[in-house]
Amino acid sequence: MTDLTRLTLTDARDGLKAKQFSATELAKAHIAAVEQARALNAYVLETPEHALKQAAASDEKLARGEAGPLEGLPLGIKDLFATKGVRTTACSRILGNFVPPYESTVSSQLWRDGAVMLGKLNNDEFAMGSSNESSAFGPVVNPWRRQGSNVGAGAAGAIEGNHLVPGGSSGGSAAAVAAHLCLAATATDTGGSIRQPAAFTGTVGIKPTYGRCSRWGIVAFASSLDQAGPIGKTVRDCAVMLRSMAGHDPKDTTSVDRPVPDYEASVGRSIKGMKIGIPREYRLEGLNAEIDALWQQGIDWLKAAGAEIVEISLPHAKYALPAYYIVAPAEASSNLARYDGVRYGVREQGRDIVEMYEKTRAAGFGAEVRRRIMIGTYVLSSGYYDAYYLRAQKVRTLIKRDFEAVYDQGIDAVLTPATPSAAFGIGEKGSADPVEMYLNDVFTVTVNMAGLPGIAVPAGLDSQGLPLGLQLIGRPFDEETLFSLGRVIEEAAGHFPVGERWWA
């Protein structure tokens, strides 16, 4: 029999309906693949019994002809999504052994539609990071290796050599999809955390418009920027996933009450006559030549498919990253105030309650999270609020206006590179200066600041044999155009599956 884990989500869906294999067989194949890939550290919790139970229920529904849109399809869930009765930690020590008595809205909709949960996926602690190195469970290994690298399976199932990071914060989601450890995964994106890891692993990731997916039950990082979305093997797979994840939720007042389109129908739709903006400000000084060439290649592909290319200007784009590093930490410092060692998670004893708080938070949070809470506290503190936070929110208005002006000119979407480089090595960035790591999100963060949808699609390999991605930015709530354009790039570039299971 063919390896069921190599199927795309939509091929597996069609195979189940055609009774070529059962949901139980599909789940078992994935459970075995997950077990053999523990050295990648993509999963922080495996839930095989749960998966087999859901798969058995799916087989019954399939037999009765009552299959949901995701019936019997095994998924991985980022550990930021609360899963009822299943440990959820945001990959932080401070949540300890937290077992939510409730289910996040997004994941509940996946189960409603018949999906099967394989387990919880690794991420940067509280989704703060671009390499998955800040996780309390340790880093994730990117299933991609540089040509001629020394990375391989060592003794006792460990990985040897200086492996690459999968990006972050949804590093476990991206690595699991790329390594065929699930058919698709949930992820979240606050500054690039879906698109950057997708680009680093040759997978597709979409951050929908702010408000498209409910944030209820997702561990909060920066509430005005956080948005859930899928990482999948193909554009079509992401379209199918997003349809189930999206939708209005009365429990999240920022979720938008408008119908969810059939996104899959937009995959393969003609892009003839669409106007694609190329922002001149994204041509950064010192931009990697391979990234620049890939961008030009993307322009040529879209042109060949009938799109019109227009040079545009986003004059405030360069200020998105510094403004983000005020707004996001400010919101994080407020959101993370709840981790006080009282209601859940771990507690360190102190002489009095303040010392208990201080010791608990010092021991429970990792270095990057502590740093961001402190920056956030500082920029919100009396005397600095206007100079930092208020100014950053004003700059954010200007960033959004730039996009509004472009869309008013009739531009349908904006094409940019997804990341300034391919995947880098573990320990390579950010150890001396945190800003070095932050620069990874330079192309993606603008989209969060303006609340727009953005998709990352793999578009080629660099000279080291590593995947590179392109990003398309759409109008608010026009994810459909992104799926149509993304599919054109995918068709031209081809797919980039990881070849051998070198880790097993």
Give, as ranges, the residues between 238 and 277 that touch another protein (CB under 8 A).
250, 253-254, 256-257
Shortest distance in whole angstroms from residue 72 CB to another protein: 30
**CB-wise, 277 or 476, nearer to another protein?**
476
351 near another protein, judged by CB under 8 A? yes
Half-sphere exposure of 425 (CA within 13 A, CB side): 11
- Helices within 171-269 (DSSP H only): 171-178, 195-201, 235-245
**What is the dihedral sign for C-alpha 255, 251, 324, 287?**
negative
Shortest distance in whole angstroms from residue 261 CB to another protein: 17
Residue in this structure with the two tokens 């053999």, named with its chain if needed:
36
Give 3-state DSSP helix, strand, coil % of the chain, rounded to 5. 40, 15, 45
* Number of residues near another protein (by CB under 8 A): 72
Question: Which one is catalytic: 193, 214, 244, 266?
Answer: 193
The residue type of 303 is K
**CB-wise, 19 or 343, nearer to another protein?**
343
361 near another protein, judged by CB under 8 A? yes
Distance CA 504, CA 153 (A): 7
Q: Is 193 a catalytic residue?
A: yes
344 near another protein, judged by CB under 8 A? yes
Site mask for another protein (CB under 8 A), range 102-141, x = bound: ----------------------------------------
466 within 8 A of 164, measured Cβ to Cβ: yes
Which 445-464 residues touch another protein, going by CB under 8 A? 450-451
**CB-wise, 83 or 201, nearer to another protein?**
83
The alpha carbons of the chain give a radius of gyration, in whole angstroms, of 21
Q: Which residues touch 67 (CB under 8 Å, ≥6 apart)?
A: 16, 17, 58, 61, 114
**CB-wise, 378 or 501, nearer to another protein?**
378
DSSP string, 158-197: -EES-PBP--SSSHHHHHHHHTTSSSEEEEEESSSTTHHH
User: Binding residue for another protein (CB under 8 A) from 119, 139, 341, 467?
Assistant: 341
Which 200-229 residues touch another protein, going by CB under 8 A? 209-211, 224
Distance CA 260, CA 107 (A): 16
433 near another protein, judged by CB under 8 A? yes
Of the listed pieces 50-58, 230-238, 267-275, 346-354, which binds another protein according to CB under 8 A?
A: 346-354
Which 376-405 residues touch another protein, going by CB under 8 A? 377-378, 381, 384, 387-388, 390-398, 400
Q: Is 78 a catalytic residue?
A: yes
Which 48-77 residues touch another protein, going by CB under 8 A? none
Distances in whole angstroms, Cα of residue 95 to Cα of each of 51, 102, 348: 24, 15, 13
Shortest distance in whole angstroms from residue 342 CB to another protein: 5
Looking only at the bridges linking them, the beta strands covering 413-417 and 467-474 are antiparallel
Length of the chain counted residue by residue: 504
Q: Is 169 a catalytic residue?
A: yes
Of the listed pieces 130-138, 195-203, 259-267, 339-347, which binds another protein according to CB under 8 A?
A: 339-347
Which 287-326 residues touch another protein, going by CB under 8 A? 316, 318-319, 322-323, 325-326
Shortest distance in whole angstroms from residue 226 CB to another protein: 12
**CB-wise, 146 or 372, nearer to another protein?**
372
Half-sphere exposure of 451 (CA within 13 A, CB side): 17
353 near another protein, judged by CB under 8 A? yes
Instruction: List, edge to edge, every strand of the sheet that includes 467-474.
Output: 43-46, 116-121, 74-78, 184-189, 227-232, 204-207, 454-461, 467-474, 413-417, 275-279, 308-312
438 near another protein, judged by CB under 8 A? yes
Q: Catalytic amino acids?
A: 78, 169, 193
